[in-house]
Amino acid sequence: MTMMEFYCLTESEQINMLYRHGVYVGKRKSGKFAVLLYQLDSFYSEVFYYNYRRHIYKIRCSDSMNILDPYLEQIAVEHLVS
């Protein structure tokens, strides 16, 4: 599935697609939102919740690796270099 095809789905269809075929990558907080990141084929999709795993504020997609940055920043690597 391409990102454009994904955007053409309803929110409910998008959620089902992520649930069945998405690969969970990580979780972060953004202001008052909890955000889950999934990989779906060749793009990434972020689900923003104002009520975690219940009520969705928005779903945002990107095919840029930059979307990974806030998730990578959370990984503690100090012990690897000490």
- Applying CB under 8 A, the residues found at the interface with other proteins are 12, 15, 18-22, 24, 27, 34, 36, 47, 51-56
Sheet hosting strand 23-30, strand order edge to edge: 23-30, 33-40, 43-51, 55-62
Nearest to 71 by CA among 32, 31, 36, 22: 36
Interatomic CA distance for residues 11 and 40, integer angstroms: 15
Identify the residue whose tokens are 């972020």.
46
CB of 23 to other proteins, least distance (A): 8
CB of 55 to other proteins, least distance (A): 6
CB of 61 to other proteins, least distance (A): 15
**Residue 47 or 67 having the CB closest to other proteins:** 47
**Residue 18 or 67 having the CB closest to other proteins:** 18
